[in-house]
Amino acid sequence: MVFRKLPGVSASGMGLRLSQKFVFLLFLSGLVTLCFGALFFLPDSVRLKRIFLSKTDTQPVTVGSGSENDAREHLKRPKEQEHGPRGMTPAKGETNSSKLKSLSRKPPVSHEATEERLAGGKAQEDLTLPRSRTDPSGSEKATTPDRGANSDTFSYQKFKSCLLKAPLGRDNGKPSDPKTNERREKVKEMMKFAWDNYKRYAWGKNELRPLTRNGHIGNMFGGLRGASIIDSLDTLYVMGLMEEYNDAKEWVQTSLDLNSNGEASLFEVNIRYVGGLLSAYYLTGEELFKSKALELGEKLLPAFNTPTGIPRGVINLGSGTSWSWGWASAGSSILAEFGTLHLEFVHLSELSNNAIYKEKVMNIRKLLNKIEKPHGLYPNFLSPVSGNWVQHHVSIGGLGDSFYEYLIKSFLMSDKTDDDAKKMYYGALEAIEANLVQKSAGGLTYLAEWRGGILDHKMGHLACFSGGMIGIGADDGAPEKRQHYLDLAAEITHTCHESYTRSATKLGPEAFRFDAGAEATATRLSDRYYILRPEVIESYMYMWRLTHDPKYREWGWEAVEALEQHCRAESGFSGIRDVYTTTVSHDNMQQSFFLSETLKYLYLLFSDDDLLPLEDWVFNTEAHPLPIVRKNCLQDEATQDKTVSE
């Protein structure tokens, strides 16, 4: 290239000037690059990133603000728009689906989010699992998260050898009594009918709408699909519906995509998807289910990245960003949500040989043991930032329920070695008896709710699981109280049965009251619905196993007849809007927990006790059976194997 000489300027002068400009521009560009890069490393860089990144790249820490009344409108086990297992009270209005009402995810950042940023340290959220860790000398080691001292992988054969009985019993639990077996076969037919219609009209969707014959996806699972498939895997297998089970397994293999980027309920994804996959693995030994469970479990870990380690209720499965439900008071976390992770996370650590999962849930325990409990009770709302209770509302139904369930089940699942869980459970039960257990004018025992010392004489359908819970914990209480606990379990189960018998359909309402002359009946229109819930039948099953009193099987059969008469539609099963009228109005939703819980518990009720025996199995809150962890046996087996190999 030839440079044209400028008049009056020498070649050497022009070259000097050009080199000075070049150096200046180079310095300027470096300075700009340094400044903009530094913005992303400042303590509050999330705000700055929002300026440059798209709106979907970041999420607010919490979903607006709300009162406890808002929570009651949106909470747990679907009600008319989305419902689910226990932990929450459903929304009012519309049709049901998964469990929590559809929520606006992007209101202004709450006061708690600001408080967290000021806290520093853990407040700056780490949204991904660490890919390296630093040793004491400061050097980084490129590793996956610490897997503990024992590098041996989980052996399915070792696990099976540590079971006391075959999971499916001598003859798949078939009862010798012809009448009982006939009833069991009827429940199996109901499962096949529900499954066939789901497969025909809603395959791959989360739930079936039986009246309109289409599928429902909902917004509870962060873009995950096939909730009814995952929830049904173990039920199909236990019932011997092998063709249907194989179809479900093939779908998991070919179509279950865990790389979603949606906003999911930590609680629901854990109990349904993680729990369902874990259970399917332990029953069948299929590595597919194990790998999917571990992959999904890892995606849930960023929800624990809070100043206290108490996880938030909502997580984006793609980015790892988490925040609190908008209706939860002051951005709090819900007792029944963060308290219903222990069983599944212990098994994730067992299968992965990675202690991080168990450490996360044990940290929750440590915090709960440290903070003061009003009258020994555990309120439903806890701040994940401060670690303090937000409101003094206590319920064994929605918002609180499965926290207590997982305490006693953690003790049982540990082969009765988890003394901390045992102490917490019996301490909580003592406080519940002292403050919440009531006797109605008609002699019915019920569990009231507690609001800062004032009792609300209402019991929710969700709280009816407590009969079974108190029953399975009776034997391990103080010797002088064991019969008392079994009697209390029977009394509560009787009360819940009464809530069924006092309706026109012989199905129970969402909530029933014991005031103003009411006895186990719903006094509000908004409490009259039934959405195929399992809790009452769950207690029947446990009480049958514990006492073998034939009334529990009779009560279960009453429920079967009522489901057939009032909830069976042409193309599946549907909840109903009013249990007090025989002219039923269906809600057009076949909940996935109907397949996982209601029908499974009925099938077990009419089976011999050696089908999924309680000596070996503990059911999660979605009725997915998880095995008791016998550490001594597993370690002995591992030692023997090592000796043989040497």
519 annotated active-site: no
What is the DSSP-derived secondary structure letter of residue 550? T
Three-state secondary structure call for residue 59? coil
Residue of 624, 454, 460, 604 lying closest to 527 (CA atoms):
460
DSSP codes of every residue in 555-595? HHHHHHHHIIIIIEETTEE--BS-TT-SS--B---B-HHII
Helix (H) or strand (E) holding 451: strand 449-451
Say which residue the tokens 């927990």 belong to.
593
Neighbouring residues of 147: CB distance < 8 A, sequence distance ≥ 6: 352, 353, 354, 355
Q: Which position among 263, 405, 498, 510 bears the catalytic label?
A: 510
**How is residue 276 written in tokens?**
């369902």
Neighbouring residues of 221: CB distance < 8 A, sequence distance ≥ 6: 98, 206, 227, 262, 264, 265, 268, 269, 272, 273
Interatomic CA distance for residues 248 and 398, integer angstroms: 31
Q: Tell me the sheet residues that pair with 455.
A: 450
Torsion of Cα atoms, 81 then 467 then 426 then 617, to 10°: -80
Q: Are 577 and 529 in contact (CB under 8 A)?
A: yes
The total of other beta-carbon atoms located within 10 Å of residue 233's CB is: 27
Q: How far is CA 326 from CA 67, 101, 109, 310, in A?
A: 9, 11, 10, 17
Interatomic CA distance for residues 344 and 271, integer angstroms: 8
Q: Are 324 and 112 in contact (CB under 8 A)?
A: yes
Per the document, the length of the chain is 646
Torsion of Cα atoms, 518 then 522 then 526 then 528, to 10°: -160
Say which residue the tokens 């004491």 belong to.
136
3-state secondary structure 315-329: EECCCCCEEECCCCH
Sequence-ordered strand ranges (E) for 308-409 = 314-316, 322-323, 333-334, 381-382, 389-391, 393-394
What is the DSSP-derived secondary structure letter of residue 138? S
Catalytic residue ranges: 510
